[in-house]
Copies of this chain bind each other. A is one copy, B any other.
Amino acid sequence: MNNDMLIRVTRYYRALNRLRTIGLEKVFAHNLADAAGVSAAVVRKDFSQLEIHGQKRGGYEITDLIERIGSILGKGDEQHVIVVGCGRIGKALMHYSGFESDGIRIVAGFDNDPLVYSDPSQPIPVYPMSRLEEVIGALKVDVAIITVPESAATDTYSDLLAAGITGVMNFSPVTLKPVRTRDGIMPVVHNINIGLELEQIFYELKFPKE
């Protein structure tokens, strides 16, 4: 499955879970197409590649589809994430409950500021950065969200890899690169650069593709 197809299939999976929540039992290719922003023909092609077949004219059973696609995506247990850097963006993520319907839960935050990590009003436990390795080991977490300031991003990234993190979503404007660790592990890094996205939007408005 290539990256574009993975994105689509993950979107189908999310849409299916939402449709089930509102009580639907059956779904048609064009419902999923709408949810994923593609055409119904693309949905049918993806399903045929995944060897998922609907009933003629009857659409697909949502429960079946969730199970099939879930096992393809390797779903199962709840997936745990930590947030490193509990400034405004980090705190917004810690308070956001929208991941839970996707089986993702933020289990801990980390910050250097004693006013932050000793504040009992946080929705989840926040630890000092010095306890990164200990807590990651104890909680057996693989994935971290980096929301530290730009100047701290590179060091934080090295510390996380050294502490056993293998997946990173980076919100700092520094582009972090996946570099094989001493243990031979190639981390998965997604850089989300909000300023860069905005610049691209301005560029595309200025020089339309069509």
- Partner-B contacts on A (CB < 8 A): 6-7, 10-11, 13-14, 35-37, 73-74, 79, 81, 87-89, 91-93, 95-96, 98-99, 102, 104, 142-143, 145, 150, 166-169, 173, 175-177, 186, 188, 190-192, 194-208, 210
Residues of B contacting A88 in the complex (Cβ-Cβ under 8 angstroms): 88, 91-92, 95-96
Residues of B contacting A204 in the complex (Cβ-Cβ under 8 angstroms): 167, 188
Residues of B contacting A200 in the complex (Cβ-Cβ under 8 angstroms): 6-7, 10, 190
Decide if A175 touches B11 in the complex (CB within 8 Å).
yes
Measured in the bound complex, the distance between the Cα atoms of B202 and A54 in whole Å is: 28
Decide if B142 touches A205 in the complex (CB within 8 Å).
yes
Q: Please indicate which of the listed interface residues A10, A96, A201, A208 has the most CB atoms of chain B within 10 Å of its own CB.
A: A201
Q: Which of B13, B81, B96 contacts A89 (CB 8 A)?
A: B96
Q: Which of B173, B191, B197, B203 contacts A98 (CB 8 A)?
A: B173
Residues of B contacting A95 in the complex (Cβ-Cβ under 8 angstroms): 88
Chain B: which residue is nearest A95 at the CB level?
A: B88
Residues of B contacting A6 in the complex (Cβ-Cβ under 8 angstroms): 200, 203
Decide if B201 touches A169 in the complex (CB within 8 Å).
yes
15 pairs, CB–CB < 8 Å, chain A vs chain B: A6-B200, A10-B200, A10-B203, A14-B195, A37-B175, A73-B199, A74-B206, A88-B91, A98-B150, A99-B195, A104-B198, A104-B202, A167-B202, A188-B205, A190-B197
Measured in the bound complex, the distance between the Cα atoms of B92 and A89 in whole Å is: 6
Q: Which of B87, B92, B186, B192 contacts A197 (CB 8 A)?
A: B192
Measured in the bound complex, the distance between the Cα atoms of B74 and A205 in whole Å is: 10
Measured in the bound complex, the distance between the Cα atoms of B179 and A37 in whole Å is: 11
Decide if B169 touches A194 in the complex (CB within 8 Å).
yes
Decide if A99 touches B198 in the complex (CB within 8 Å).
yes
Decide if A188 touches B201 in the complex (CB within 8 Å).
yes
